Structure 1
Amino acid sequence: MKKIILLLVLSIAICTAGFAQQFTVATYNMRNDNASNDDSVRGNGWKQRLPVIVKLIQFHDFDIFGTQECLIHQLQGLKASMPNYAYTGIGRDDGKTEGEFSAIFYKTTKFKLLAHGDFWLAPVTDKPNKGWDAALPRICSWGAFQEIKTGYKFYYFNLHMDHIGVVARRESAKLVLTKIKTIAGTASVIFSGDFNVDQTSDSYAVINTSGTLKDAYELSPIKYAENGTFNDFNANTKTTSRIDHIFLTKDFTVKRYGILTDSYRAKTKGGDKYEAKLPSDHFPVMIVVDHQ
């Protein structure tokens, strides 16, 4: 009887080892907390939005995700509200804490950060500067991760491309592909961000037709994408333009893709009615992937 039980246990272990492992990836431009804009006046200030964003992340159970536009205090607020996550990244203005980050958050119970780095989207990649026709300095942060349960290793690259420079976006796409080959080699790669262009642009095509990476939207058999990804804090906006993307190497199998159009209700200025509000001026993109 003991031998039979032992054989059953071993059989289950062998079968389980062959199963694909699954985790959730996302990218989310959370809108910078800028005192000079009118977000707070319109009821879209960071203090109002932070608790909703935290609940959204926790409910949809993001395992690892790229962020865009967050300043250091925003990242600290997220970290304090979600102690089971850590992040990697530096500020684009000084390479330390100043300016917006392209930080990568990950569950510390699920992943181990093995190595990390950052480079600027410019001909000079190792110090803060603007590249080509870009209006602002732009940075890409990356991490080498290991899944604790399985030992599976992969790289994650995350960025926010320039909103003005057409040449900068195209050259940035080429630069990141080169960096991925240099840094990650033949390892599995996830590449996410706010690319500031949709699926019809040439800089998007540079990546999606590279033979190295493919848009998760195209790879997924199940798509929940009833809107585009930029909403300008307007809950009634409707577009087919996807400017936030997640690209993957062929090592991953995409099971599901979604643009999460979650909204919440907040009181109007008069305080006697409620209106639909959005946690950011972008909707997050979420995917579920398998790997062997």
Structure 2
Amino acid sequence: MEVGHESNLVYALVYGCILALGLPLNAVSLWILLRRHSLKSPSVVFMVNLALSDLLLAISLPMRVYFYATGIWPLSNEACVWTTMLFRNNIRSSSIFITFISVDRLLAVLYPLRSRHLRTASNALKAVVLAWLFVCVLNIPERLKFSAFIKSKNHSTCFEFQHNVSHNNSNPQYHKSVFTYLPSVLGLTLLAVNIVCTTLVSWTLRRHLSDLARVNNKVNVMLIFVINLMMFTICFLPLAVFLFLYGLPVSTPLECLASFNCVLDPLLYYFSLDAFWKNKEDIELAREQ
């Protein structure tokens, strides 16, 4: 069962809008983070990698838009596989980096002094390297299955793996395994971590409502967690639940929804960093004063 032409045009339009918004927003955000903020802060390390992940997603979108608009894949099968994996990498890596940001903010609010030895740039760099390695390893089984499926097709196509196998669970190219459910379990686990972080921080801020020295801007702190939960609930949760219930590759509508996170992520940079638009020299001077 193939996706109808009208549905393909809708997908092309949605991905085109995400590309038009996500590419400049994340390119500018990455430039500001690297130029105006040093990588000495764990928050900046996580946000730089989140912006990089979103840019990789945006790079994969032009060919996806072209395919859904024309119904033709002009490149090789291997290019289709790499484009698809680059796209799905963002969904997994973004959810991990967003959770890192939530945990980092949780430690900063609940344990500002005791967590200093943990909340370092070097530890943050180690965490993001492990996250990228984990995402790459997680993609290996899916990449092999997708590559085998694409090679078995008699016509030039791409991004259709999910439509064929979802209507035929006995497809010899597709067998359920622990790797089938691992992405959904990962997504649901990270969502649970974000819920716990939000609850603990909200409870702490209520207890220290008058302690302005403890948290400089409580509204911004809570907005960080609200944005994180909103992205998980809107973008990642439907995809994770679908995978958990059916154990099948994600459907195109849910992929569209998940990819919208690259448009929302720049909100995190604005609310997470003090003086986001200021030079790092100005920030250090303000701290000294």
For normalisation by structure 2, the TM-score amounts to 0.29
- From the two aligned structures, give the one with the greater helix fraction: 2
Tell me: higher relative CO, structure 1 or 2? Use CA pairs within 8 A at least 6 residues apart. 2
For normalisation by structure 1, the TM-score amounts to 0.29
The structure in which a higher percent of residues are strand is: 1
